[in-house]
Amino acid sequence: MEITSLIRVIISFLVVVFLLFLSLNLIKKRSGLMPQAGGRLKVLDKIIFDNQNKMFLISVDSKEILVIVSGAQIKHIEL
């Protein structure tokens, strides 16, 4: 195998790995899996009991709010 062919294979491999890494980061950002910095709304903690019952502790500016989601009902408590 010539040295130029080997270099071409290595460069192609690195380009593919870079594009894969770039695509995965873009998917994470768009799907909401990565927290966005600088926002006023932050989810501090969450508890998922089952598919219909969840509890979230949310911070908005300096307020903390406990949000309870149960089926079709949503209740909130300001702390």
Note whether 68 and 45 are same-domain residues. Answer: yes
How does strand 53-60 pair with strand 73-78?
Answer: unpaired
Q: What pLDDT tens digit does each residue of the chain (79 aa) get?
A: 688 899 999 999 999 999 999 999 888 877 765 555 667 888 899 999 998 899 999 998 889 999 999 988 999 888 8
Query: Per the structure, how many domains does the chain have?
Result: 2
Note whether 41 and 70 are same-domain residues. Answer: yes
Note whether 44 and 75 are same-domain residues. Answer: yes
Note whether 27 and 41 are same-domain residues. Answer: no
Note whether 47 and 75 are same-domain residues. Answer: yes
pLDDT at 12: 96
Cα 34 to Cα 76: distance, rounded to the nearest angstrom: 25
Note whether 47 and 19 are same-domain residues. Answer: no
Note whether 9 and 28 are same-domain residues. Answer: yes
Domain span at residue 45 reads: 37-79
